[in-house]
Structure 1
């Protein structure tokens, strides 16, 4: 405090040098900012104007190419003859109509994708080929249209500026048209009709998409009604576009919105099409690099001041260099690098601190090594236990399915239903081909094929008593699930829902996408479950769920529930799902006695493929 109350000469001198340096730097930086901002503004204005003028020239060239399409009939004498000799028998008129419309189809499909509709018309007949479900808005009244009358009075092509009309739905699409009068080659004074080409603005959009403006500039195209038919970005203040005077001869101007944001505006009119091209550049974004440069300059000035002060304090830093090295190495330790050591150069207090730091790093390395080994042993033990348990659960499945299927075929043969038995054997063969070559995981598509084979056999057995429908979204077919996760649930629906019930039983298998994965629903309108049995099964499922939540999946300690649902049932599937997916999977059971049962599997979304 005393040092600052009575500064020394050296302190005053350093302060004056610093103050003078700051003043010079600020003045020079401000003047440089003003000069460079004017230069950059003018350069941006000129470059942007050249860009939009080139875009306008490209649009003109594009429209001229479309104009040449309307000359296509003159290169096809057959079409001109059909137009000139349109009268005749109904069959001849029909043949002429087919030829002309096939010609219009070739004109549309060959050159450009943006062409929506092509018409060839006169006072008596209209020929059309369209890619849209809607015809032109004045299809039924075209003889009264101003464009038709104008086309009939001149041989020059007529351009109909972009206007909104229905093309592919209720939402209107910007459409512009080229119209040209068609005359006879034999008699140039004879008018055969008018050709009209409707196109959307995607061709113009492709031209504008190639335009690159600096500083996050925005490009807009307006029609004669000042409607925006193209824009590269949304304006923060949409009403700003209304204040642009596109008819002014002034090439550039500044605009300011209600929030005080300034924009640099360039405009250009495409006179042949009535389109107006407007480019907006944010003045703030344009000046931001200069402002950043100014800030860097000021920062550099302060850095020079600090270096001046540091020069006088250099001898202090010389003695504290070892301490600074230790601090730097401590930051590396914080980032996880434990392979570093401090070089001990002195035997003083700093040397003692360096030696203590090295010993601490060595002890941390030993501790992490022991901890990593323990974690690895615990993980391997749990993984081996989980893998062996999973294999044991999977091994319960195949014999059960084979027994039930063979039993079904045996009953069909005993009943002398040989055709059905042959069909059942074929389905069983396909079923065996599906399950004999699978391991512990299969695709959803393969699982559904197994289910369909099983239900086909069961339907032969129960005939009209059993109906089913499987409706799984195709996008889920590639998902991997534990094998035979759905078929046993269908088997339970047949065994416990269809067999004991009188009347028809319907089994429905559907899927549904959710935010966290997808659901598989297996529903039947069978006999259902009694309340006591339902609660008992739900309790076992909840016990399994809770065991996974506390990371102790000792499934072998759970009570066996095979007596409730058969050898392969809900509990088996529940265990396999939890072993595979953990808490990301779930199983839900809803049943009412006499009404039916619904089982829902909750499965996580499959990992995305890069």
Structure 2
């Protein structure tokens, strides 16, 4: 099945130039607009954060001043000597007791509550009685047990006024009302060590609400006032998320920070009042803060694109006029590609493009003359080199057969003379298989068939040397179908027998292995012989790489012969690699491979 080919988009020079300049301008405008948007939005956000922080801090100051006014209100009895005397007096008769109660409560009504609507209840508490004026049907919750209340004991123990944090109490019905209180110890004006009692003022948060209502947050923000019990005293939320405060962690620190609530970014400003413990929290949506910057970015990008489109139109007209002579040259070059070297370009300008046209005309004329003179010569040289390489290969192959046949027939002759007819018959059968394999193959055969030829040869030699010779084939299955030159391994095995079995009586073991590594077929013929002396090994390696072809052919029909055949067939990446030591000699035959991905097979890379 043929694979699908994707159609490549080919653009001409003019289109590429226009696209490049357009992309550059668009990228530049987008980068400038984006970074300008980031800078503007950051400046606007920081300015809003600073302004908001100042606003809530000023709001906190106003709330503290409001609470200080309530503190000062608790000093009112000290400005009325009659009231102080009444509080210090000790009436005996019921009439005196009633008169004292009316006098004090009238004072509380006129002085303490009338000027302020947020004051709900005022109490003067002594050890003997409670004097009060209330605007609610309910008294304070610890009315009957005020002496045991913590705030009462704290007020008696200090000269400073105390603040009772906002808490819920019944005031106008079953629904509980948020109330905060201030209390102060009353002492006799004649004797400061004499404590008369405690004055306590209960107020709702309408005073705080009136202060917070005056706060105007830009960009639809939200403002919350929270007491120490994490209860909301005041809330104004112009944001879309009505549950914003419940999603926000209440354990916030003073200052500003950003957070994400329901996947939306918010800017939060917080300030805490030291006296009352109230926290004022202002929240802004980051999207609302940067909405104007985004709108400005959109307008900037829109206007920039209009300018870019107009400039591209003007630039296209300019390029079309400027590049017209160049396109004429390109059309002529396309004609030259078809083989027509007689084409000439008219010279319309005296600038660089005119020089290019003149050079093109000269080049085509010279090229035509050179090609006409050299084409026939190049063809002849190529054919001569090709025939020379083929003749060299054929000559190398033909030299192997007489040498091998001489050794084999000599072995069979010795067996017959020794009366070993059975072994001689086996030798003749192996020789027959070997010769039949050579005659039935061309100059390249699969590795599997080459190994069969080598096995026949080694069997012949094993009959000659007996137990002194053994061999082992360790061939990987994926290497068996790879094509190699015929009789590439037999000379290597023959060389091993010649230099090991004939030179020594020590048993010789030959191992032939094959493996594929990094797109190469490696066939290794190793023996356990005495090795090659260092001087001879160096001369042999030098002979492999020697460029004098006649010397190589005369030097050996063994290793050098095989090495030259591989180089002629597969190029310089192929050949023999020889290593030797006292424990034996290893000759590796290297053949480059091509891996066919479509058919999943291995094949040798032919150079001929």
TM-score range, shorter chain: 0.3 to 0.5
Q: Which has the larger radius of gyration?
A: 2
